[in-house]
Amino acid sequence: MAANSAANPELEFPDVKAQVSADEWSLREDLACLYRLVAHHGWDDFLFTHLSVRIPGPEHHFLLNPFGMLFEEITASSLVKLDPDGNKVLPGPFEINSAGFTIHSAVHMAREDAHCVLHLHTNDGVAVSAQEHGLLPLSQHAMQIGEIAYHDYEGPALDLDERERIVNDLGDKKLMLLRNHGTLAVGNSCGDAFFGMYYLEKACTIQVGALAGGARINQPPQGSPAKTSEQSKFLFTGKYGALAWPALVRKMDRLDPSYRN
């Protein structure tokens, strides 16, 4: 059983480590760590929103959170492995969030580079997604991100036919605002996706604060947003996500290593 089951007998899970490959177990630890990091940053939304990782192989299986567990409770063994049709590949006591399956299956099936997908409902992310102008070049963070994708609100993503429109709207971008809904980031790894989401969430928080301040907004000089975006492309090519990820794992190991169970 998972090591935290003694303290939480209602959260007992089989030892999945013995049932999966070493590569899958490593991905499970990374994704569980990512869930804990999202909770640590205050980006979680009670039982809602979702993060996923695709398992290498022709089956296109991917891992998603068990619906009914808080992000701070999620462990490597508790993650649910799904096929592209939403069927559980390994048995477990929890189901998954249907909206999470719609969004994450769409991106994983369409984008070979989307090994990790984050979707959040933070206050500032939702606020900017609800603003008609979307993300503005008001901060260095926003300008470094450059162009992002947008997807219009269609309801709580329960209709599978929305998957095609999500994919079309996302295109080849790594970051997206789901209008009136939240934020989305894709990456080649958990580190890449977290790094992109950090920049997007930071830019949204700065924008909400700047617009709420009541003072006249200073617009950057003409051409500087495009120049900043071009100069900052190196940030989102994978190098910095890979650089930051071991440090983030070390931080979570110091705070609570039970995610590895």
pLDDT at res. 8: 57
**CATH number for the domain that contains residue 114:** 3.40.225.10
Tokens of 214: 């009541």
pLDDT at res. 2: 40
The distance in angstroms from the start CA to the end CA of the chain is 9
Please report whether residue 174 resides in a domain: yes
How far is it, in rounded angstroms, from Cα 208 to Cα 64? Answer: 30
pLDDT at res. 93: 81
Query: Mean pLDDT per 10-residue run, the chain (261 residues)?
Result: 45 82 97 98 95 92 94 96 90 84 91 95 98 97 96 90 94 97 97 97 98 92 95 90 96 97 93
How far is it, in rounded angstroms, from Cα 225 to Cα 149? Answer: 17
Beta bridge partners of 64: 80
pLDDT at res. 100: 86
pLDDT at res. 13: 75
Residue with tokens 């979570």: 252
Please report whether residue 131 resides in a domain: yes
Please report whether residue 218 resides in a domain: no
pLDDT at res. 4: 45
Please report whether residue 93 resides in a domain: yes
The total number of residues written for the chain in this structure: 261
Number of domains in the chain: 1
Please report whether residue 36 resides in a domain: yes
Please report whether residue 248 resides in a domain: yes
**Structural domain boundaries, residue 190:** 14-212+229-260
pLDDT at res. 1: 34
Strand, helix or coil for residue 50: strand
pLDDT at res. 99: 84
CA nearest neighbour of 202 among 183, 217, 216, 219:
183
Please report whether residue 1 resides in a domain: no
DSSP-derived pairing of the beta strands 175-178 and 149-151: parallel
Please report whether residue 7 resides in a domain: no
